[in-house]
Chain A
Amino acid sequence: MSPRTRLILIFAGKAIGLLIAISVLWSFVIAMPYNRALVTITDRLSGAEIILGEDFEEADRVRLGLKEDSIYIGLPPGPELYGYLEGPALQYGMLLIISLIAATPALGWRRRFKFIPIALVIMFALQVSTILGFAKVCLSGQFASENPFVILFITLGTALFPALIWGILCYKYWWPKDV
């Protein structure tokens, strides 16, 4: 086995191991406060058009709501739901990027502690943009949760952006030197 193949295997093992460890912590400790922070900041940025409410059915304006671990967007009165985003489906990119950066071989601890916050801030900004964009689509009259293009866009973005951010930040550590 070549040294580089061994490094790839170590990278894979570490990344998956870290993912499992972080997912437990995230699921039981961080998920709900994070979801709330995400919705609160999105709500502040969105202005008066979309406002945050705890109880979706009782709101009297178009707003972005938070219920359990999903983010609901609707137009009251009544339980007329315009769309929802499942929190964990949106947030797994955070876990992915932490694992990828932490598992990258030859990356020093100082750089890891520098790259992880940068990546998390970028991911957070992307998630806020995603919710805002999703809410706009919802408010345009479409039930966005069943729109295949919107769902694919979110799925692809959630999956692709962490990989891209890792690829750019850690470019020197994985790109073959002879290319």
Chain B
Amino acid sequence: MSRKHKKGAVPRPQGRGTVHKGQRQPLRAQFVASIEAIKLGLRRHRVAVKGSLIFGGGVLAFMLIHARMVETEALAGLLTFTARATGAILNLFGASAQVDGTLISSPDYAIRIVTECTGLVPMAIVVCAVLAYPSTAKQKAIGAALGIVGIFVLNLVRTVSLFFIGGHFSTSFFDTAHFLIWQPVMIVVAIVLWLFWVEKLVRVTAH
């Protein structure tokens, strides 16, 4: 005969399932307890779990789309646009730069814009983080747009500065600036843009 419990009350284990001190739980009971603990943990941290899944899915989707875009040369337009914008800014500073497709050259130096020079990876990180954070569709759209524009502008600063560094300093200094300074700075800025978006747009609205 089953005993009725009040709604919400947790029934205590009885009979054969009761575990005393010093007595080992059967393997099945341990397994069930572990599953329950995992379920409880997932329920308690559901916002973080959901966010992580969206973030991971977003990154995976980006990788697949990006690989497809490189194969079909769909990124050619972005590469040329980045090269032209970099060339235009360089000419504002009197560098006499000429742009031929993705190649930017001047009497001092020449660089070619490749896929990694477009800032697509930091952009993808910001967009995935924005999509993963609990917020409205409008807030997500604003956050993604701000992230993409912000990283694109910063990337132009990066390409222009690297052109100048390449033309006036040694190769080892260029490598240091290219890989060891600008690459991590782009990621730091991506994180900071996301934190600003959370602080200024999402949390302010929520309060």
Q: Which residues of A contact B (CB under 8 A)?
A: 2, 4-5, 8, 11-12, 15-16, 19-20, 23-24, 26-27, 69, 86, 88-89, 91-93, 95-96, 99-100, 148-149, 151-153, 155-156, 158-160, 162-163, 174-176, 178-179
Query: Considering the complex, which residues of chain B in the window 93-122 have a beta carbon less than 8 Å from any beta carbon of chain A?
Result: 115-116, 121-122
Nearest chain A residue, comparing its CB with the CB of B70: A148
| Cross-chain pairs A/B with CB under 8 angstroms, 5 sampled | A26-B180, A91-B179, A99-B184, A152-B66, A163-B187
How many chain B residues touch A (CB < 8 A): the figure is 40
Q: Which residue of B lies closest to A175 (CB)?
A: B48
Contacts of A4 in B (CB 8 A): 199
Asked whether, in the complex, the Cβ of B195 is within 8 Å of the Cβ of A174, the reply is yes
Report whether B71 and A176 are in contact in the complex, using a CB–CB cutoff of 8 Å: no
Task: Give Cα distance in the complex from A147 to B179, angstroms.
Answer: 20
Contact indicator A19/B121 (Cβ below 8 Å): no
Q: Report chain B residues within 8 Å CB of A69.
A: 175
Q: B188 contacts which of A5, A99, A175 (Cβ < 8 Å)?
A: A99
The 4 closest A-B pairs by CB, nearest first: A88-B179, A96-B184, A23-B180, A148-B70
Contact call B180/A95, Cβ cutoff below 8 A = yes
Q: Which residues of B contact A27 (CB under 8 A)?
A: 172, 175-176, 180
Chain B's nearest CB lies how many Å from the CB of A145?
12
B61-95 vs A, Cβ < 8 Å mask (1 yes, 0 no): 01100110011000000000000000000000000
**B191–A100 contact, CB under 8 A?**
yes
Please tell me if the beta carbons of B181 and A20 are within 8 angstroms of each other in the complex. yes
Interface presence of B168 (CB below 8 A):
no
Question: What sequence of 0s and 1s flags, for each residue 120-149 of chain B, a beta carbon within 8 Å of any chain A beta carbon?
Answer: 011011000000001000000000000000
Q: Which residue of B lies closest to A24 (CB)?
A: B176
* With contact pairs A27-B172, A159-B122, A159-B125 given, residues A16 and B185 touching in the complex (Cβ less than 8 Å): yes
In the bound assembly, the distance between CA atoms of A153 and B66 in angstroms comes to 11
Q: How far is the CB of A97 from chain B (nearest CB, A)?
A: 9
A89 to B184, CA, bound (A): 10
Q: Are A5 and B125 also in contact (CB < 8 A) when A92-B184, A96-B188 are?
A: no
Bound complex: CA of A178 vs CA of B203, how far in Å? 9
Q: How far is the CA of A51 from the CA of B116 in the complex (A)?
A: 30
Q: Chain A contacts of B121 at CB under 8 A?
A: 152, 155-156, 159-160
Please report the C-alpha to C-alpha distance between residue A153 and residue B121 in the assembled complex, in whole angstroms: 10
B47 at the interface (CB under 8 A from A): yes
Residues of A within 8 A of B186 (CB): 159
Interface string of B161-191 (1 = CB under 8 A from A): 0000000000010011011110111111111
Tell me whether A12 and B180 are in contact (CB under 8 A): no
Chain A residues near B196: list those with CB within 8 A.
Answer: 5, 8
Interface presence of B206 (CB below 8 A):
yes
Chain A residues within an 8 Å CB radius of B115:
148, 151-152
Give the residue of A92, A99, A148, A160 whose beta carbon is less than 8 angstroms from that of B183. A92
Please measure, in the bound complex, the distance between the C-alpha atom of A159 and the C-alpha atom of B124, giving whole angstroms.
11
7 additional A-B pairs beyond A12-B192, A19-B185, A148-B70, beta carbons within 8 Å, are A4-B199, A92-B180, A95-B180, A151-B115, A163-B190, A175-B48, A176-B203
- Taking a contact as CB atoms closer than 8 A, the residue among B66, B187, B199 that contacts A2 in the complex is B199
Q: Bound complex: CA of A92 vs CA of B125, how far in Å?
A: 17
Pairwise interchain contact A15-B175, C-beta atoms closer than 8 A? no
* B59 lies within 8 A of chain A by Cβ: yes
